[in-house]
Chain A
């Protein structure tokens, strides 16, 4: 039972946050260097899927780490569900470019890791892991070790681990970049299916325009040095989306449109920065 306590501990921003993830005037510099990210304003609504795309080194990973509360911001504010990221960690999960599995644990025990760290009891987390594994179609390899799996299967295990804590926000840093195109396409389709079931908010970093268009409600294009939001492009294809979408002419057009914008960002950077 919770009493209606007056809200004193959390200083509310003047403009009330509307999104699940809110970044206001965020600037980030490492040490005393020049800013990696400058004046980022971004509002991501609940259960929205947003892809972030931009040249290498523009601060995409840094942006995700800021939202995850894994690195300190220099100025501005980041809010996840209205609170500071470190306090919202429990409702977030992170996926990395490689599967980052523990080689000494079986697939089952790897999936259990995230709930185990949350302090979930043994029987319950085993049940959750079993459920997640069947969700990603890996029940039959539950007792194998990661080294016995293909790259795509490892990534599925990583997805299952991330979803076990039933996150409200899923942060993904180029999760499929190391996979071949066919596997990547299949996992993209699976990710959409999982999102339809889980209704989490997705923040997805990628270098593949086609992947971003296929998955996203919105694509954010970042420019480099310093990282800034240069385009915020909505993608209007209706859900559920399936593999067939990739063959449609509109899909092709959208990919070209985003690629043009991305190209523009790259060119401007060349003109501006090259000595």
Chain B
């Protein structure tokens, strides 16, 4: 409890220090508000334009959340297919890496051409950049199951031989051994992609703009505020975007803790033992 309080105090003082130096920099260099607005005017911008900020936040959350969720579902399915044979992995795994190294900024306009502008397109862009970490980590988790445990499942396999029994055996292995042992790796993938989901959505929105004039996600509003030289509002948007990214990361970490704290050691804090 005492440590908690000390933690909070130290975090708050760092925050206060940052705000003070922010104000000081403006004062010392005599910066105009369109270059660097003061903390107070940013706060005012947040208060005044709170409704539209919330709308933008909502739109971006939906696109980022949807793309992220889709990447988890599709990523797990692809990883399960990849885990079935090393031939499949050899043939298709390089393309996963390719997907990861493709500069999203370069293909974003293409995607918009294909699926149109708006929240859906932004979701697709988010999905694309979130997918590789989920696939890579989950595949790794699925195939690095303890060899002896796989032998154990094989030894006690009671399905007999043939195509259908083989399939049932694979499903049993997947369900009772591989998926549970891949959970920690899966959550690493989810956590990594949670960090980039919001970035992906905002990059998408920079291009996709909005389907209705004047209403769009944080990325759209950022381009708008930038064009209008509304730097205080721009700052407010950037803070909200970071906050959203943090919320995603926090959600991923919470889910990881929730599902794994019962058995996986890395989710246990040292005090708990």
What is A's interface to B at a CB cutoff of 8 Å?
Answer: 65, 68-70, 89-90, 92-94, 96, 98, 100, 102-104, 113-114, 117-119, 145, 147, 165
Which residues from chain A contact B180 at a C-beta distance below 8 Å? 102, 104
Q: How far apart sit A68 and B153, CA to CA, in the bound complex (Å)?
A: 12
A94 to B155, CA, bound (A): 8
B183: chain A residues at CB < 8 Å are: 104
Report whether B156 and A165 are in contact in the complex, using a CB–CB cutoff of 8 Å: yes
Known: A102-B177, A145-B263. 16 other contacts (CB 8 A): A70-B154, A70-B155, A89-B157, A90-B156, A92-B155, A94-B151, A94-B152, A94-B155, A96-B152, A98-B148, A100-B152, A102-B180, A103-B265, A113-B152, A147-B265, A165-B156
Q: Which residues on B sit within 8 Å (CB–CB) of A118?
A: 156, 158
What does the 1/0 interface line of B57-100 toward A look like (CB < 8 Å)? 00000000000000000000000000000000000000000000
Beyond A100-B149, A102-B180, whether A147 also contacts B156 by CB under 8 A is no
Interface residues as binary, B144-186 with A (CB distance below 8 Å gives 1, 0 otherwise) = 0010110111111110000000000000100011001001000
Chain B residues within 8 Å of A69, by CB:
155
For A147, list chain B residues within 8 Å (CB). 263, 265
Determine whether B262 belongs to the interface, using a CB cutoff of 8 Å to chain A.
yes
Interface residues of B (CB under 8 A from A): 146, 148-149, 151-158, 172, 176-177, 180, 183, 262-265
Identify 10 residue pairs between A and B in the complex whose beta-carbon atoms are under 8 Å apart, listed by A's number: A68-B155, A70-B154, A89-B155, A93-B155, A96-B151, A103-B264, A104-B264, A113-B156, A114-B152, A117-B153
**CB-based A-B contact count at 8 angstroms:** 54
- Whether A90 contacts B158 in the complex (CB less than 8 A), given A104-B262, A147-B265, comes out as yes
Q: Which residues of B contact A103 (CB under 8 A)?
A: 263-265
Most chain A CB within a 10 A radius of its CB, from B151, B155, B183:
B155
CA distance A94 to B150 in the complex (A): 12
Q: Which residue of A lies closest to B159 (CB)?
A: A119
Query: Which residues on the A side are within 8 Å of B153 (C-beta)?
Result: 117
**A119: which B residues are within 8 A, CB to CB?**
158
Identity of the chain A residue whose Cβ is nearest the Cβ of B264 in the assembled complex:
A103
Across the A-B interface, the 4 shortest Cβ-Cβ residue pairs:
A117-B156, A104-B263, A96-B148, A103-B263
Q: Give the residue among A69, A93, A103 with the most B Cβ atoms within 10 A.
A: A103
Tell me the bound Cα distance from A56 to B61 in angstroms. Answer: 58
- Closest Cβ of chain B: how far from A112's Cβ, in Å? 11
Please, which residue of chain B has its CB at the minimum distance from the CB of A145? B263
* Bound complex: CA A70 to CA B155 (Å): 7
How far in angstroms is the closest Cβ of chain B from A48?
21
Q: Which residues of A contact B154 (CB under 8 A)?
A: 70
Bound state CA distance, A96 and B148, in angstroms? 7
Q: A100 near B263 (CB under 8 angstroms)?
A: no
A200 to chain B, nearest CB (A): 15
Q: How many Å from the CB of B35 to the closest CB on chain A?
A: 55
For B176, list chain A residues within 8 Å (CB): 113
Whether B148 and A100, one on each chain, are in contact in the complex, defined by CB atoms closer than 8 angstroms, is yes
CB distance from A38 to the nearest CB of B (A): 24
Contacts of A68 in B (CB 8 A): 151, 155
Rounded to whole Å, the gap between the CB of A60 and the closest CB of chain B is 15
